[in-house]
Amino acid sequence: MLAKVVLRNATFGFDKIYTYLVPNELSAAVQPGLRVTVPFGAGNRLREGFVLETTDAEAPDPGYTLKEIDTVCDPVPVLKPDQLRLAQQMKLRYVATWGEIIRSMLPPGLTSTADKGEGMRPRRERTVRLVDPEAATELLESEELRFIQQIRVLELLLEYGEVTVAECRTLCQISPSPLNTLAKNGVIVYDWRESEAEDISAKAVTELAPHNIENLPLTDDQDTVMNALLSAFDAPDADARRLREFLLHGVTGSGKTEVYLRLARQVLAAGRGVIILVPEISLTPQMVARIIQRFGNEVAVQHSMLTARQRFDQWLRILRGEVRLVVGARSAVFSPVDNLGLIVIDEEQESAYISERRPCYDARTVGRLRCVNSGALLLLGSATPSVESYYRTETGRARLLELSSRPGGAHLPRVEIADMRKEDRPGASGLISRSLYELLAKTLEQGRQSVVLLNRRGYSSAVVCRDCGAGIKCPACSVNMRWHAAGRRLMCHYCGRIASLPSHCPVCGSPHIQAVGCGTQQAVSAIAELLPTARILRMDQDAVRDEGRGGHAELLRRFAAGEADILVGTQMIARGHDFPDVAAVGVLMADLTLNQPDYRAHEEAFRLFTQAAGRAGRSTAGEAGVGRVIIQAFDADNLTLRAALRHDYSAFYTNELAFRSYAGYPPFKVLASVRITGHNERTVIARTRFLREKAIKLGEQICPDSKIAFSGAARSGIWQLSRRYRWQFMLTGDDLAEITAILQSLALLPLRKNEKGITQSFEVDPA
């Protein structure tokens, strides 16, 4: 008996399918999807691998002695048959090794002894965390680490953040030595924390859920959508291998979640499994709460705030078939659900569904592949669909379903634009327009709540010298440091570096330095100055971190419980939250989002403004209860703003599609990037130019008749990060397979002697 095996950890040069002989004593145990150890290389060092397939055929070359599989790591396969097919499909599409693809499907730290219990925890736990996650990612991709134990530690910490030392040693099956080595080299750091029985229990999460509305009648729109979906689900088996994809375009508050849950109930009743994806579990606790409230112990939650141990246990429940409904973030799309019948991707337009680590997969694409492999339905939902997904409905690859109104007679909010070129601005800061101030004051007087969005955290966006104009830049990154009034410190929002405010300009020595621009902390101060009686709650990454584990859910719980009148925050407050008492929404400095250096900037702006506006007036019927939204902007005539003003996705989509077609961006072209990073910029530049020249030659060889465009080698937008320089070039073409073939060939090119420490990233349709 022979087995086809791929290695868990291998460089691109050794990333192949290897044939091993299965010894007689293991023939009954070895099967596809199983984790095994095999002798590899001249020294026959034992390496971990995965069995892709088995066969009873004889060795291909009788004169060649095959090596034998050494041990079986688990009593049952850790990968289901459809996951193995998915891995093969991802190998063709993404630039990644077999091990990287398969590891993305499994919980980090999976070991043959991981099924053992944890025992009692101490009152205080010693923990370990990464000093710099970005640098750790680059260290992994550079393939400089020689020991598998250290690689496993970094993979675990990149996935879960801070974990206990005991968890890390158990899940990675290591001694203290690898941790001490990483700590000595400044990669990780030890700490202590108080132990907790649960970070966020199901009961605590359920407190965020609205009342159960399963027994309420569906609206006519919801009923039409449900009938279409159930008809597709009940289609004859002959259609099972064809992708059945639906895009549910529903205005904010139109009841998309209720459709998801009722459809999931029907699919489960038919004996099939369900996966429901949300962009980020920690930012959408109400969605999770509603699912737990509806299905109870029938659901497994891949929760970002569970410990590594708890998350592994959830995965084990799914693998054993104890639950058939999974809710989670991006990686939950790989859950080993038996007889999969439905994948739901909520807020499908979010970039959080695209992985930034190899394999740089898009959960929407992976969901499509899984649905084809399993004969399942794929349902994408959004109030502001991505241009690519909506275009699929126009080209016949998906079917469009719509929810055009809110249940119960609730109206969409009235949206107004405050032209900041003309607006009177009360208060010393001038950040709040007269119209928004009056709206917030009126809402406060009525005893209702308001939400204010400013998509920039901190107090000021930069600190500059009034004499020479120089900004205070992060010494490790090519960005300005931000001033945080809380703690009175400068912070780099990319590498996390903290510094005190200098007394003199580091360039010209002038004492005249000042903070300019604004962030959420300044917005809170401005509102407090105008409305001193208002109870204001701030929600951004800094505030969430200060709350500790479960910070997102705790801040949202306090606002939902009426402990604050105004919630001020970044884009995390605009996503999927249902606050019945919110009557007013303000958007500050809308121009910040509109003017981002990204071809998707206007799509992101329309999404953000529409989602934020959707928090207002969600549960109040009648014209008298219509919510109000004020968007402050200097470019008040912008077409994207005007479309958001009318809740007009169609107008936005038409304008955006014309721009994408003219400029040659997705969905009309395939876009890919090659990024090189390293400590020596001259070496980085040389490597970037070398790969670009190779890419052009490969294009001529692989697809001589195609028109693939190659941009010049150039600095990335943020060209220095954590003291590493970043250069890149782009590829644009019509055929995905041709672009991918070029990237995979580039990945096989070894680094030269003087290129130690260089890391390379190859992405298709990068986020």
Mapped onto helix, strand or coil, the DSSP state of residue 646 is coil
List, for the chain, all residue ranges whose pLDDT scores fall below the cut of 50.
112-123, 196-207, 238, 621-624
Backbone angles phi, psi at 504, to 5 degrees: -135, 155
Backbone angles phi, psi at 425, to 5 degrees: -125, 105
Task: Note whether 165 and 127 are within 8 A (CB).
Answer: yes
Backbone angles phi, psi at 750, to 5 degrees: -70, 155
The pLDDT score that the predictor gives to residue 210 is 54
And the tokens for 213?
A: 């509305």
Q: Does 670-764 match 2-101 at the fold level?
A: no
Q: Where do the domains of the chain lie?
A: 2-101, 124-194, 202-408, 410-459+518-661, 460-517, 670-764
Q: Which residues are within 8 A (CB) of 132 and not within 5 positions of it... i.e. 6 or more apart? A: 495, 496, 722
Nearest to 424 by CA among 412, 433, 414: 433
DSSP character at residue 410: B
State which amino acid sits at residue 529: E
Entry pTM? 0.81
Q: Which residues are within 8 A (CB) of 39 and not within 5 positions of it... i.e. 6 or more apart? A: 45, 46, 47, 67, 68, 70
Please report, for residues 60, 109, 132, 719, 725, the alpha-carbon distance to residue 722 in angstroms, rounded to integers and kept in the order given: 50, 27, 8, 10, 8
CA distance 378 to 6: 30
Look at strands 273-277 and 340-346 and give their pairing: parallel
Task: Note whether 308 and 171 are within 8 A (CB).
Answer: yes
Mapped onto helix, strand or coil, the DSSP state of residue 722 is coil
Nearest to 36 by CA among 64, 28, 44, 26: 26
- What is the assigned CATH class of domain 2-101? alpha beta
Please report, for residues 182, 308, 343, the alpha-carbon distance to residue 186 in angstroms, rounded to integers and kept in the order given: 6, 23, 41
CATH for 670-764?
3.30.70.600
Nearest to 5 by CA among 45, 37, 46, 43: 37
Own/partner pairs, 213-219, CB within 8 angstroms, 24+ separation: 213/258, 214/258, 214/261, 214/262, 214/294, 216/407, 218/255, 218/258, 218/262, 219/255, 219/403, 219/405, 219/407
CA distance 514 to 563: 35
CA distance 630 to 40: 64
Match domain 202-408 to its CATH number in 3.40.50.150, 3.40.50.300, 3.40.50.2020, 3.90.1170.50: 3.40.50.300
759 beta partners? 677
The pLDDT score that the predictor gives to residue 109 is 59
Quote the radius of gyration of the chain (alpha carbons, Å).
27
Task: Note whether 158 and 145 are within 8 A (CB).
Answer: no
State which amino acid sits at residue 263: L
Number of CB atoms found within 10 A of residue 625's CB: 14
* 459 exposure class (CB count in 10 Å sphere: 0-12, 13-18, 19+): buried
* 22 exposure class (CB count in 10 Å sphere: 0-12, 13-18, 19+): buried
State which amino acid sits at residue 152: R
Backbone angles phi, psi at 721, to 5 degrees: -145, 125
Look at strands 124-130 and 163-164 and give their pairing: antiparallel
Q: Which residues are within 8 A (CB) of 684 and not within 5 positions of it... i.e. 6 or more apart? A: 676, 677, 678, 725, 726, 727, 758
The pLDDT score that the predictor gives to residue 60 is 66
Q: From its phi and psi, is residue 647 left (phi > 0), alpha (psi between -120 and 50) or beta?
A: left
Q: What's the topology of domain 410-459+518-661? A: Rossmann fold (3.40.50)
The pLDDT score that the predictor gives to residue 270 is 95
The pLDDT score that the predictor gives to residue 199 is 38
Cα 109 from chain centroid?
21
The pLDDT score that the predictor gives to residue 260 is 95
449 beta partners? 582
DSSP per residue, 330-379? GGGGG---TTEEEEEEETTT-GGGB-SSSS--BHHHHHHHHHHHHT-EEE
Taken in order 26, 31, 36, 37, the sign of the CA dihedral is: positive
Backbone angles phi, psi at 18, to 5 degrees: -105, 145
CA distance 377 to 380: 10
Q: Which residues are within 8 A (CB) of 653 and not within 5 positions of it... i.e. 6 or more apart? A: 387, 390
